[in-house]
Chains A and B, each alone.
Chain A
Amino acid sequence: MKKVVLFGATSAIAHEAARCFARRGAELLLVARNGEKLSVLQKDLETLGAAKVQTHVCDLVDIKDHESLLKTCGELLPEYDAILLAYGTLGDQGESEKDFSVAEQEFRTNFLSAASLVSRVANMFEARGSGQIAVITSVAGDRGRKSNYIYGTAKGALSIFLQGLRNRLSSTGVHVLTIKPGFVDTPMTAHIEKGPLFASAQAVGEGIYRAMERKKDVVYLPWFWRFIMLIIKAIPEPLFKRMSI
Chain B
Amino acid sequence: MAVGESWGRYPRVKQSVYSLAWRNEVSLPEDQLLLPYGMGRSYGDSCLNDGERILLTSGLNKFIEFDGETGVVHCEAGVTLEMLLDFGLPRGWFLPVTPGTKYVSVGGAIANDVHGKNHHCAGTFGCHVRSFELLRSNGERLICSPEENTEMFSATIGGMGLTGLILWVELQLKPVEGPMIDLQSIQFGSLDEFFQLSSESDQDFEYTVSWIDCIASGASLGRGIFMRGNHSKVKGPLKQNSLLKRIATVPFDAPGFLLNRHTMGAFNTVYYHKQRQKKVSSTVHYDPFFYPLDAVHHWNRIYGRKGFLQFQCVVPKDSDNEAMKAVFDQVVRSGSASFLAVMKEFGNVASPGMMSFPREGITLCLDFPLQGDETLRLMKRLDDMVFDFDGAMYPAKDATMAPEHFRSYYPQWEEFSQYVDPRFSSSFWRRVMKETD
Contact = CB atoms under 8 A, between A and B. Distances in A.
Interface of A: 12, 36-37, 39-41, 43-44, 47-48, 187, 190, 194
A47 B24 contact: no
B22 A44 contact: no
Interface stretch (B56-64, B109-117, B362-370, B371-379): B56-64
Contact of A40 (B19, B62, B66): B62
Contacts of B65: 43, 47
Interface residues of B, number: 15
Given A36-B24, A40-B22, 18 more contacts: A12-B21, A12-B59, A37-B22, A37-B24, A37-B25, A40-B23, A40-B24, A41-B62, A43-B63, A43-B64, A44-B64, A47-B64, A47-B66, A48-B63, A48-B87, A187-B19, A190-B21, A194-B2
Contact of A36 (B25, B62, B66): B25
B247 interface: no
B24 A43 contact: no
B25 A44 contact: no
A190 B23 CA distance: 16
A47 B66 CA distance: 6
B219 interface: no
Contacts of B243: none
B3 to A, nearest CB: 6
A192 to B, nearest CB: 11
Interface in B1-18: 2-3
B21 A44 contact: no
B22 A194 contact: no
Considering residues A37, A40, A41, A194, which has the most beta carbons from chain B within 10 angstroms of its beta carbon?
Answer: A40
B67 to A, nearest CB: 10
Interface in B348-367: none
B interface: dominant SS: mixed
Contacts of A187: 19, 21, 59
B168 to A, nearest CB: 10
Contacts of A41: 62
A194 B3 contact: yes
Interface string B52-77: 00000001001111100000000000
Contacts of A39: 24
Contacts of A12: 21, 59
Contacts of A48: 63, 87
A48 B62 CA distance: 10
B292 to A, nearest CB: 24
A44 B83 CA distance: 12
Contacts of A43: 62-65
Contacts of A36: 22, 24-25
Contacts of B21: 12, 187, 190
A44 B65 CA distance: 7
Shortest 10 CB-CB distances between A and B: which pairs?
A47-B63, A44-B62, A190-B19, A36-B24, A44-B63, A187-B21, A47-B66, A43-B64, A37-B22, A40-B62
A187 B59 CA distance: 8
Nearest to B25: A36
Interface string B31-70: 0000000000000000000000000000100111110000
Interface in B72-105: 87
Contacts of A194: 2-3
A214 to B, nearest CB: 18
Contacts of B22: 36-37, 40
A121 B102 CA distance: 42
